[in-house]
Amino acid sequence: MEIFENLSASSKLGSDALDEYSQAVRAVTEKLEPAVISVGLANGRAGGSGVVLGTDGTTATAVTNSHVVRGMRNARRGGGDIRAISSGGSSVSAEVLGDDAPSDLAVVRFEPEEEPVVAELGEAKNLVVGQLVVAIGSPLGFQRTVTAGVVSALGRSIRGEGGRPIENVIQTDAAINPGNSGGPLADASGRVIGINTAIIGGAQGIGFAVPVSATFRRVIFALLTEGRVRRAHLGVGVVTRPRSGDFPGGAGVENVAPNSPAEMAGVRPGDVIVGLGGKPVHSTDELLNLLDESAIDRRATLEVVSNGRERSLDVRPREQ
């Protein structure tokens, strides 16, 4: 076939039917994209993505990342209000209702110019490795960007601010870049099953999302009602002491803050915490997970190993 015939023939081709994979991604995009917003400053500095999860009269409430809103707060020194930009392009002022750095979640509220679409929440515990997922957001400022991939792994743990672990995060190979943070990760039904939160610098195809779970719902509820999430602390710097022989592992105490609950209980640097409130502690993560709101100002037995001997101490964790 001569090139002129080829050029002529290609100009007469009709639209091909989409394959099943493309149909699935397109269906998610049409359903979810109107609920995705960009959040940023009026001066264009800093920002990320978000997803509308509810409305109340004339206002809409969206979830994003804590590191997104904190980045905007730092950048606001140069001027500029926080703005919510809808998929249609309208930009309105937004208010941060609360943010929680340890879970990397935040909630913003705004008054949209048009009636917003509310995204449907799914449940991350129903995911399986290899399942199709779709990410929507504003990477590098390119609004309404859609990428697709699969669930690469489940049950991962990444470190949030302050050293607390964010448990059971979703690993995906759907392309995620700076600016995707705070945007939704959705299943093939268009339900939000995660909030995109992190990438590994220099890596390709490795992104993470905070899962929609009981913990997610508890954090969002606390941010909506109190503007913060309450947690307990002992006042110690700890590092995981791995299992060795008959020793099951624990949280090794590196330092103890003056006048802290730990110091008043008798904890010393070099001790290894192996239990709290009757529950075993095999790692730093396990200790941090036990120090939730329910532990605040509640007396508990702290089990520590000092120079090979186990001691039981009476401790009352305080609010962080």
67 is catalytic: yes
Whether residue 233 lies in the annotated active site: no
Please name the residues in contact with 232: beta carbons below 8 A apart, sequence gap of 6 or more. Answer: 291, 292, 293, 295, 296, 317, 318, 319, 320
DSSP state letters, 216-283: HHHHHHHHHHHSS---EE-SEEEEEE--BTTB--EEEEEEE-TT-HHHHHT--TT-EEEEETTEE--S
Q: How many other C-beta atoms lie within 10 A of the C-beta of residue 61?
A: 20
Angle at 183 between CA 181 and CA 186, to 5 degrees: 130
Q: Is 104 a catalytic residue?
A: yes
Q: Which of 100, 104, 187, 271 is catalytic?
A: 104
The residue from 38, 49, 67, 100 that is catalytic is: 67
Is 180:134 a contact under the CB 8 Å cutoff? no
Q: Which of 87, 152, 181, 260 is catalytic?
A: 181
Among all residues, which ones are annotated catalytic?
67, 104, 181
